[in-house]
A and B are shown apart, each in its own frame.
Chain A
Amino acid sequence: MPLTLPPLDPNGQVLPHDHEGIGSDDGVIRRISEQQIVQDKSGNRRISSMAFKASGGDNSGMSVDLESLIVEAGKDPRLYVTTPRWTGSVRFTAGKLRAAKFLVGYDPSPENPCHGEVWGAFGRLQQRQLRNLATWFVEIPGVAIVAE
């Protein structure tokens, strides 16, 4: 079912919100670039904390793709999140994000009509929670989500 349009501020920017149309079991996909991979103290590769932070813009949240919208559009989610450029990605479920005090919202753009945002506090504790909640969706070989 299509999602209702999100609330906007006077500048037309999407306001942080928790969208009731995004179900608890719905997948929330976060793309991970090779640029966001670092080495830990043992030389093993893992995702940098930068991948689990909000962007710095207005009403800033963490960009995601809403899996249910991709499926409803008749597209393959793994193909969708690796197009037009290949990146890895991790997956959460909306309900578990909400249980960790995040808001999961809808923020479509002309380039990405399945785009969503995760809003909340992105302190160390929350970043660790995000890592623990994430599973590889499109795996970057040899890269761990959680630090050893």
Chain B
Amino acid sequence: MEVWRPSVGIERLRALTGANVASHSAFSSCVVSAPVVPWHKAVTDRLEQLLKLSKGWDGYDGVAVRFENATFAIKVLELVFPGHGPIPQIVPGATGDLQIEWHMDQADIEIHVLGPYRVQAWRATAATGRDGEEVRLTNDFAIVARWINEMLEPRRAAHTTAA
């Protein structure tokens, strides 16, 4: 949540107004901070690990996840994944690529980032069968957002009922 921090503190406010200002709701201090999304730290921590993989990590010629792929993955997640939900698993590929995965009761979803704007997304549900449906995407991830929303819908309904 972004909040404006005023430049004048309580002491200065007292000096300006002559009032015995102890506090003022208009000047409650808040800090400008990065968006707080529950999955963000876990995902960035995992990506940092994958950016540091040593050559041959897979027993062959595997290289570390490429930085541009990691940043693109974050951008995609920020677009398609609402704040609350299960943290995705992230698996490296051999050539700097990566795959974002969820495996839930409602669906399996895998987003393979081969490179920026080169994505293969796949999902399997009871309706699609185990081989699922796959799409190739560049910059429009509306279908993935829908898949994730459908995957999370039963969880949201359960929370609402419990409340």
Q: Which residues of A contact B (CB under 8 A)?
A: 31, 33, 35-36, 38-41, 48-50, 53, 55-57, 63, 81, 84-85, 87, 89, 109, 111-112, 115, 123-125, 128, 147
* B105 proximity list for chain A (CB < 8 A): 41
- Whether B57 contacts A33 by the Cβ 8 Å rule is yes
User: Could you list 26 examples of A-B contacts with CB < 8 Å?
Assistant: A31-B58, A31-B60, A35-B91, A36-B92, A39-B103, A41-B103, A48-B91, A48-B101, A50-B93, A50-B99, A50-B112, A55-B95, A56-B93, A56-B114, A57-B94, A63-B61, A84-B56, A85-B59, A87-B59, A111-B61, A123-B131, A124-B122, A124-B131, A124-B132, A125-B131, A147-B103
- Chain A residues positioned under 8 Å from B95 (CB to CB): 55-57
State the Cβ distance, B121 to closest chain A Cβ, in Å.
12
Complex Cα gap A48–B99 (Å): 9
Chain A residues contacting B59 (CB-CB under 8 Å) are 31, 33, 81, 85, 87, 89
Instruction: Give chain B's interface residues, CB within 8 Å of chain A.
Output: 50, 53, 56-62, 89, 91-97, 99, 101, 103-105, 108, 110, 112, 114, 122, 124, 130-132, 134
Most chain B beta carbons < 10 A, residue from A31, A33, A53: A33
What's the dominant secondary structure at chain A's contact region? loop
CA distance A84 to B54 in the complex (A): 12
Q: What's the nearest-Cβ distance from chain B to residue A106, in Å?
A: 15
A40 to chain B, nearest CB (A): 5
In the assembled complex, the Cα of A49 lies from the Cα of B61 at a distance in Å of: 18
| Cα–Cα distance between A87 and B56 once the two chains are bound (Å) | 11
- Chain B residues whose C-beta falls within 8 Å of the C-beta of A128 in the assembled complex: 130-131
Contact present for B99 and A55 (CB under 8 Å)? no
- Residues of B contacting A41 in the complex (Cβ-Cβ under 8 angstroms): 103-105, 108
| Shortest beta-carbon distance from A129 to chain B in Å | 11
Q: Closest CB of chain B to A87's CB: distance in Å? A: 4
Q: How far is the CB of A79 from chain B (nearest CB, A)?
A: 13
- CB-CB < 8 A to A111: which residues of B? 61
Residues of B within 8 A of A39 (CB): 89, 103
A50 touches B60 (CB 8 A): no
**What are the residues of chain A within 8 A of B132 when measuring CB–CB?**
124
Most chain B beta-carbon contacts within 10 A, residue among A35, A40, A57, A84: A35
9 nearest A-B pairs in the assembled complex, by CB-CB distance? A31-B59, A55-B94, A56-B95, A63-B60, A124-B131, A87-B59, A48-B91, A50-B91, A38-B89
Q: Are A40 and B103 in contact (CB under 8 A)?
A: yes
